[in-house]
């Protein structure tokens, strides 16, 4: 129990007990004086206004007002002797607590409804600005043209041949509108990752392939890497605009594509590209006049050998390499044998290991990207 004490006691003026230094019933709507007065009444067998005022360290009028407030809430009563007595807390405070909890519940429901409305009006509008849905082959082709034309420094793409023919008629990867085969500003760096199956189906020595991946007049050519499987088709310009065709079930009349502007989603797509690019097998630059990157005297001696080595590492068969490169199978085998002699090995497994160890597979992109274009 809390003992009544003389007003000379400093503890009396500061709240008579440590537990009375807080306001436990503030949430129920009690004033500060009433909040302090009720525990005092509970701890006594009745107290007069003057005694209560001294215990609270307030004026007599303030103590009387506090007791009147408690009486109005059904928390206190005044006896015939003029003293104030508490009403049992369970019978009076519990209904107040229940009422406060109900108000809090309703407030939370209102907050949830306002949150949904805010998201619909404000954030929903923002989402429409970040992601736009484009339908139809013609609309997709127009966006692809715009994306390539707007690129100022960097263009990167995933090119795959989907079962639904998304890569173009007959599944031709070069027919893909995202294949970086359109005019761009001078100095734009192109990085293209092909799926192995689609890459093997191409004839890299054909004029159509060179024109598609290395448009005439470009001052920097495309860097190409090959991976076994790509997660999506994708094209990103300057890390600020991305085109993401959606896979379709069957063969719908109108393909669908997402146009994605700067956002966390675009950042995730760029990170995905960089991850796949880092794990891809370099094929080199598609400009036949550019010598292969050689880190020692024993590297590939021609662009053709670089491409053969890259396709060998990616798992292509001799026939697939010959078809993609537009040469005879015996020509592919002759070049592989020549690279084995240069490496001083007697089989293809050791050739691949030697090539990886000595940097024969480097395409020079990382070294070249830090050099400003003229």
Domain spans in the chain, listed from the N-terminal domain onward = 10-87, 92-129, 136-368
pLDDT: which is higher, 229 or 91: 229
Residue 290 CA to residue 208 CA, distance in Å, equals 18
Q: Whose CA is closest to 84, among 128, 126, 50, 47?
A: 47
What does the buried/exposed string (b/e) look like for 244-278 if buried means 16 or more CB atoms within 10 Å of the residue's CB?
bbeeeeeeeeebbbbbbeeeebbeebbebbeebbe
Choose the CATH number for 10-87 among 3.40.1350.10, 1.10.10.10, 1.10.1240.10, 3.40.50.150: 1.10.10.10
From its phi and psi, is residue 152 left (phi > 0), alpha (psi between -120 and 50) or beta?
A: alpha
Strands 189-195 and 222-227 come out as parallel
**pLDDT score, position 20:** 42
Q: Which residue reads 């880092």 in tokens?
A: 278
42-56, 96-110, 322-336: range with lowest mean pLDDT:
96-110
CB 285 within 8 A of CB 363: yes
**pLDDT score, position 363:** 64
**pLDDT score, position 271:** 94
Under CATH, which number does the domain 136-368 receive? Answer: 3.30.870.10
**pLDDT score, position 276:** 92
pLDDT(272) > 90 = yes
Facing residues of 236 across strands? 156, 242
pLDDT: which is higher, 134 or 185: 134
Residue 123 CA to residue 102 CA, distance in Å, equals 30
Predicted confidence band of residue 5 (pLDDT cuts 50, 70, 90) = very low
Residue 22 CA to residue 257 CA, distance in Å, equals 61
Report pTM. Answer: 0.53
């Amino acid at each position: 129990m809390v003992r009544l004490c003389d007003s000379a006691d400093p503890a009396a003026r500061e709240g008579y007990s440590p537990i009375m230094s807080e306001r436990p019933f503030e949430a129920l709507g009690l004033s500060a004086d009433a909040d302090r007065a009720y525990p005092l009444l509970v701890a006594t067998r009745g107290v007069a206004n003057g005694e209560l005022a001294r215990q609270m360290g307030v004026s007599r009028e303030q103590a009387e007002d506090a007791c009147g407030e408690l009486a109005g809430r059904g928390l206190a009563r005044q006896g015939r002797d003029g003293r104030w007595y508490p009403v049992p807390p369970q019978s009076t405070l519990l209904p107040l607590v229940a009422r406060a909890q109900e108000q809090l519940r309703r407030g939370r429901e209102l907050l949830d409804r306002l949150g949904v409305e805010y998201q619909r009006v404000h954030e929903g509008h923002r989402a429409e600005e970040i992601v736009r849905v484009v339908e139809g082959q013609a609309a997709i082709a127009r966006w692809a043209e715009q994306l390539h034309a707007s690129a100022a420094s960097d263009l990167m793409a995933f090119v795959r041949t989907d079962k639904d023919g998304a890569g173009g008629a007959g599944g031709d990867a070069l027919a893909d509108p995202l294949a970086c085969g359109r005019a761009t500003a001078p100095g734009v760096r192109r990085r293209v990752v092909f799926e192995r199956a689609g890459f093997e189906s191409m004839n890299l020595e054909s004029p159509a392939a060179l024109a598609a991946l290395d448009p005439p007049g470009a001052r920097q050519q495309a860097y190409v890497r090959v991976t076994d499987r790509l997660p999506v088709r994708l094209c990103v310009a300057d890390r600020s605009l991305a085109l993401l065709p959606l896979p379709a079930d069957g063969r719908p009349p109108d393909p669908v594509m997402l146009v994605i502007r700067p956002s966390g989603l675009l950042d995730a797509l760029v990170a995905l590209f960089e991850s796949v690019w880092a794990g891809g097998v370099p094929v080199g630059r598609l400009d036949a006049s550019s010598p292969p990157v050689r880190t020692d005297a024993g590297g590939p001696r021609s662009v053709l050998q670089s491409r053969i080595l890259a396709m060998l590492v990616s798992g292509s068969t001799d026939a697939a390499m010959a078809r993609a490169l537009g040469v005879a199978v015996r020509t592919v085998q002759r070049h592989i044998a020549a690279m084995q002699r240069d490496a001083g090995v007697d089989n293809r497994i050791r050739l691949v290991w030697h090539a990886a160890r000595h940097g024969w597979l480097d395409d020079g992109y990382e070294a070249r990207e830090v050099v400003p274009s003229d």
